[in-house]
Amino acid sequence: MTLPETAREWHLIARPTGMPQSSDFELVEVPVRAPGEGEVVVRNLFLSVDPYMRGRMNDIKSYVPPFALGEPMDGGAVGEVVASTVDTHAVGDLVLHMSGWREVAVGPAKAFSVLPATGLPPSYHLGVLGMPGLTAYAGLFEVAGFQDGETVFVSGAAGAVGSLVGQLVKARGGRVVGSAGSAEKVRRLTEELGFDAAFDYKAGPVAEQLAAAAPDGIDVYFDNVGGEHLEAAIGALHQHGRIAVCGMIGAYNATEPPAAPRNLTQVVGKRLRLQGFIVSDHGHLRQQFREEVGAMLADGRVRAQETVVDGIESVVEAFVGLLSGDNTGKMVVRLA
């Protein structure tokens, strides 16, 4: 296969204030270099956009370093090997890697994981079988300590992480309530994904809607949103309840400090535990997660939902859409 002479990649050229703008990014055409010793060349098929990327666009110290201005963005991607200098990676292999936001990736073979043939769509490795899936699995079982039969509330329930959290709860005999940002998403949660109840958080106060959906209270809150959702969950949690804080997307674009839960004093009387977590601390669960969720996908207990956007030109639009809640399930950009 002949390598293309050039390929396009997205650079961050300004740090966003509030919601990112297209002017914060630039699509740049660059030469494709030949692979050096131990390297491969990969043509990307699917690019991932994820909420955590917003934090990396700020110039602040965090658990991952910020994106550099004038440099290519990166992120999860699935591609096909088109040139290789190593035995472990053959031309035609599907690989999972972190050089996303670009059409072609060149780098050391060990940074590209060859994917097993699962018969499942390759994009699933960016979603239900990938980082967001492991986030749901680790957060629910290891961080929140979910026990079979408990009642769970998950916010951002129509997203890549939340939609798997809810299905895992159902697969383990629990009860799950989800919140999402539109009537259509709410319909999908209850009609397609098996949620016991769901509500549109834009349609009324979260605390009231949660109380109606879970009148007997909740044991676990899986937080993707923060703010008003967290306050409502603290009010609804039983004694010894647990909160797994995966993200607070409601705050990512805030230019003012977000509203904090005014009922936080209840953590004492209820003995609540609130635990923030990052999926990279839970890699020891990956094999178990892939086997268990892979089997659930195969027999239909878990359904993967995706929102697919086409073309490298659309990556920024997909990312902004993700932060605005345009997606149902995993948001991916298809290049091939």
Q: Which residues bind a copy of itself (CB under 8 A)?
A: 55, 62-63, 226, 230, 239, 245-248, 251, 257-278, 281
Could you tell me the smallest distance in angstroms from the CB atom of residue 297 to a copy of itself? 27
Q: How many helices (H) and strands (E) does the chain have?
A: 10, 15
Angle at 221 between CA 217 and CA 226, to 5 degrees: 120
Q: Would you say 119 or 257 has its CB closer to a copy of itself?
A: 257
Of residues 40 and 214, the one with the C-beta less far from a copy of itself: 214
**Rounded Cα–Cα distance for residues 8 and 314 (Å):** 12
Q: How far is CA 300 from CA 164, 170, 192, 289, 327, in A?
A: 13, 12, 11, 16, 22
For a copy of itself, the closer CB: 190 or 266: 266
Dihedrals phi, psi of 178, to nearest 5 degrees: -120, 150
- What type of residue sits at position 190? T
Residue 189: CB minimum distance to a copy of itself, A = 24
By C-beta, is 204 or 276 nearer to a copy of itself? Answer: 276
Structure-token match 């990307």, residue found: 44
Taking the complex as a whole, the smallest distance from the CB of residue 264 to a copy of itself amounts, in Å, to 5
Q: Where are the beta strands (DSSP E) in the chain?
A: 6-12, 25-31, 39-48, 77-84, 94-97, 104-108, 113-114, 151-154, 175-180, 197-200, 218-223, 237-245, 273-276, 306-310, 330-334
Decide: 243 and 223 in contact? Cβ < 8 Å: yes
- By C-beta, is 207 or 308 nearer to a copy of itself? 207
Using the minimum distance from each CB to a copy of itself, give the nearer residue, 136 or 248: 248
Residue (182 or 253) nearer to a copy of itself, CB: 253
Q: Which of 182, 266 has the CB closer to a copy of itself?
A: 266
Q: Would you put residue 35 in left (φ > 0), alpha (ψ -120 to 50) or beta?
A: beta
Question: Minimum distance from CB of 289 to a copy of itself (Å)?
Answer: 19
- Shortest distance, CB of residue 62 to a copy of itself, whole angstroms? 5
> Could you give phi then psi for residue 19, rounded to 5 degrees?
-65, 130
- CA–CA gap between residue 226 and residue 178 (Å, rounded): 14
CB of 202 to a copy of itself, least distance (A): 21
Q: Minimum CB separation from a copy of itself for residue 243, in Å?
A: 9
Compute the least distance from the CB of residue 270 to a copy of itself, in Å. 7
